[in-house]
Structure 1
Amino acid sequence: MTSSGENEQLRSARYALADCEQRYRGLFEAIDDGFCIIEFIDGPQGPLSDYVHVEANSGYERHTGIRHVVGKRIREFAPDEADGWVALYGEVLRTGRPLRFERYFDAAGRYIEVSAARFEGVSPRQVSVLFRDITQRKQAEAALRESEAIARENIERVQLALAAGAIIGTWLWDLQQDRFSVDEGFARAFGLDPALGRVGLSLEQVVATVHPDDREALSNAINEAIKRGGPYAHQYRVRRANGQYYWIEANGRVHLATDGTPLSFPGVVLDVEERRAVEEERNRAAAELRALTETLEQRVAERSAELLRAEEQLRQSQKMEAVGQLTGGLAHDFNNLLAGIAGALELVATRLSQGRIVDAERYIVAAQGATKRAAALTHRLLAFSRRQTLDPRPTNVNALVNGMTELIQRTVGPGIHVETVGVAGLWPALVDVSQLENALLNLCLNARDAMPNGGRITIETANRWFDHDAARTHQVPEGQYLSLCVTDTGVGMAPEVMARAFDPFFTTKPLGQGTGLGLSMIYGFAQQSGGQVRIYSELERGTTVCIYLPRHYGDATDDAVERIKLPTPQAEVGETVLVVDDEPTVRMLITDVLEELGYTVIEAADSGAGLRVLQSDVRIDLLVSDVGLPGGMNGRQMAEAARQQRPGLKVIFITGYAENSVIGNGHLEPGMHMLTKPFAVGTLAARVRELMNA
């Protein structure tokens, strides 16, 4: 019996314990507040540096927005905030002092009051935490603060208005009873009977005194304020007792019930007639100022236009002055040359008529010399204008300088010492060799003329890398360049001379000792080659002129100074040349030269006639054509059209200047060559034979 009685007591105790546990669990889940128990554990950062949630009710998730927290450590789901929570709750665990604070939980979108206390349970490491939603309280406090701020603002406005004597009346509109009562000042402002104002007016009676143009806007403002509640302010005109309209401002506030029902609409009326007058005066003054500003801007624009026209006229005048200087110098030099040619030819004709052939040869040589000087002058002009024909090739500039040093030394004479300083590993340049040779020789001749009593010329090469600032200073694109500099120890240049050094026909030499085209030719050649020229000089200290050329990314040949040897070429049987040129004299001379060499020559005066020959079945071994042709196509276009039918056609273009847009900026197709007028007949014959043999 005893054993049976003990078992009965044990079952009763278990039932009681289960019932207690069920009641606890029901109470635990039933409370609206969030509740959890955390237990501190040893974490990776040391003892008690992490904790795990051992208990949490459903309210925990509602209040914090964190789901399924039981069994999770704080560093699992909030690693960035873990240190802060561990520090807060750890202080409660160590000291036993409860903790209470407020916090906004982003996940739940609520303000929560957090209360934590050490949990005196089975484990000495546990803390219980209670989360209570205080969002409504916070919102009520914020609304109260806002209402107080608005009330203070209204009080301040009323106080300011009273102090200024601006308030002329008050009103109270009972929106529930639709009863509109006003004080005496309001009634007088609206031209109403003050007795009616105390008893109560209808809104229609008040609106009847409003200016007809302002009624619709006033009605809309009132309806909008009643709909949303809160502050209201609107300006409009009312008719007073004297029948005149005056500007007023109505300021008030619509009070709403908790369900949004409009309750009352109190307010005051302010006299703003003077303020409006001031504002209108200010607006009028602003309009006048804007009009004045526009007038000034227009006058400035007109003055600027006048200045631009004057500047354009000045530029045109300077341009005409430069053209006059250019044409004057050109006419002077060409007239001298033409006089020599014409006189020599006239004497040749006279001597031939007299049968004195021996004397004729001397005049022929003189005419040829004058012709060559005229051609050189033309080339210099084209170089200055960057219209000369260039034959750019990968060039070793050090080899070019070394090949010319002996010639330069003989030219400048024994009183001047020439030395060269070539940098090792100089980058190659893609440049016209003969033009670069002419430029170097010209610079050395200028240096010689600057040292009448002798001195030293230094020719130096170097590699240069121009960054953004250096490229902007030298007016070239950024990148790698090589420089070719000629330095003398002569008299130097004054700043005003350096400023005009590249002008055509500008020279400081005595009359007859210089054309003034040397530096301008070098400037144009460097620009056309993608580079630049710069002068550095000091009076009595000497001058340095540097040519900067873009680096060529490729190999260069070392035979830059090799000269073409012109054999006496003869045609092979049947070789036929088509000559296309619109200048009869040039066409005749080329035809005579080639026929004397044994070639069969066909002539055409324009591109249309030339293309018809090229598209026929006639044998054509070589085309010699001017670049600029009449007939609808230029020489390049005619040659390309012919190559569609004759793919291997060889071409020599002859031209008086470099039509870069026509010849492709110096980039000719294989089998195409360029010859610049005027040319020696031997050069033409050698070039024809060279292409025939290719």
Structure 2
Amino acid sequence: MMRSHDWSGSPLGHPDTWPPCLRSTVSLMLGSRFPMFVAFGPELGLLYNDAYVEILGDKHPRSLGDRFRDVWAEIWPDISPLVDKALSGEPTWSENMPLLMNRHGRDEPTWFTFSYSPLRDEEGRIAGMFCACTETTGRIQAEAALRANEARLGFLDRLGKETAKVTDADEILATTTRMVAEHLGLSSCAYADMDPDEDGFTIRGDWAAEGSPSIVGHYSLADFGKRAVQDLGAGRPLVIHDNLAELAPEEAATFQAIGIAATICMPLVKDGRLTALMAIHDRVARAWTDYELALITEVTERSWAHIERVRAAANLEALNATLEQRVEERTSQLVEAEAALRQSQKLEAVGQLTGGVAHDFNNLLTIIRSSVDFLRRPDLAEDRRNRYLNAVSETVDRAAKLTGQLLAFARRQTLKPETLDVGARLAGVADLLDTVTGARIRVETDLPDQPCFVRVDVSQFETALVNMAVNARDAMDGEGALTLSLRCCVPLPPIRGHVGAAGPFAAVSLRDTGSGIPPDLLARVFEPFFTTKDVGKGTGLGLSQVFGFAKQSGGDVDVHSAPGQGTIFTLYLPEVEAETVPGVVAAEAGPLEPGGSGQRVLVVEDNIEVGRFATQILQDLGYATTLAGNAEEALDRLGPDGDDFDVVFSDVVMPGMGGIELARLLKRRLPDLPVVLASGYSHVLARESSTGFELLQKPYSADQVSRMLRKVLGRRLVTDAEGGG
């Protein structure tokens, strides 16, 4: 660049005319990577090397060969004494000298360490000066920033410790204003609350240095001009510098009236309204430093965050005061919601059962009615009479079994896990599933010979099986094959992103020959209320019940399907050890024996027809009977000692006092009087089977009644004999 430069306007002239001392100095300078320059001749023409270019900034390349004082006109007053010393023969050394330079279109503070050395010609005369320099701006600013940060952190630590002792929002702000003013040497620091209508604000809680005017009072926001309204209203800080020079005259007058020279208002929100933290310099006009602006901004943010925290703690304390009550209420609501959802899932399954149950009952009633018609014929052969009697008896057993399954299925009660042989249960449920699926679907079973025990709620287990069977039936459009199978001692595979388990698990599978499930719907089949059925034909709760039951029982449910290839639902349940489960023991088979010999039986039954039928059976069996229509009438007939009766035979579900309550009352009053209860409700059988009372399940046969009465009366005879009666 030097070779191609136009030197015609330079006080140095063309390089061919440069003296040897300048040439040798320039050669030395250009060969160095340290920033250097030489100012030569009467007008101090400037020459520099590549390393000095960065210092010049946008002054390069026009500074090449130019007069030194013109290049650095903005700092000439600061460096000219040093230049004069060097030109007088005295070398200088300056370390970290601050200089306000303009080398990028703006004034910027800089720091330099440099030396000015006299440059002599061949005759020993001083012809210029040589400078080796380094800019230390970055280091100086970093050290200053570090010191400022240490001061900031130290102040914030002290401020935090002081305000941590305070639990009132106004006290937090008052403490903050005082400490900010002391730390920054402010004449005043205060906080102001915006009026609810935002037309003005009130300065209060100020801290003022001795001799400084108080600025507490109410002011109209309009007096501060549009700038204040816009800035504070938009949540931006309002900063005023240079003794109000930035404001319009009418705005400056308002600030002067309250003694403000240089102010910063930091907006924050308190009680839902705009509020400002105001920091005020003394009356000596000066601008806010970056440190002061940053510190006040951070203090404002921290103060407000602390006031959130304080209020949140107060709110939390108030919340905790009622937490236990609200948790109890919420828990109760969740339990009720869960029970309602579980019952709705049962009812949907019961609805699916209705058609099949009605069909089966009509078939059973057809057998009974036809058999009764034939039995009325006087000329009916004995073998045919026995055949029809057996048909009626067997049909009643089938109807009782179907009714029992339906009642157990639909009962409303809390979950009641029990240990059961899942294979045996599946074999029994197959008939129920056959009813659900209809005549055109074959229900087949594939069950192992060895027992396999799980612990589950039986009703929920059967509900899950029915729901999966209903889903299969709809997928097969009412025609096909449904295979119910069981595998024992298998691991639980990974399902839907969950890890598996070693087990052992019982795997209950239902395989259908239906249309299959599209891949895009397969992942959603267990979602509550998701259904592909038409409106009114399904709520979408069936498979979600299966999923919930499996999870609640410690297992899971998986599904595999493909369009046109059917679907397999597999229910995994943890296996458990077998245990003896008490239940209602069936009466032994054998010929009907009367057994009665005039013993007195009080029959308690609110249904007149059933009551008459029961008394007729008992009379035919050789018992003397008395019928009471309810528990209250029975108590009247028994009297205070019950001596007129040998046994009480009572229904369970009756208006007023029920059979259970009657039996318990008699156990207290007449502990030696046997009580036999009868009920057709499965939830009563499940709940009361271990109360100590003998229980017959409706519909009962004459044989079952005879055996039960002989059992309890025989027990009484033994007791009387042992007691000497």
Q: Same fold (TM over 0.5)?
A: no
Calculate the TM-score normalised by the size of structure 2: 0.38
Calculate the TM-score normalised by the size of structure 1: 0.39
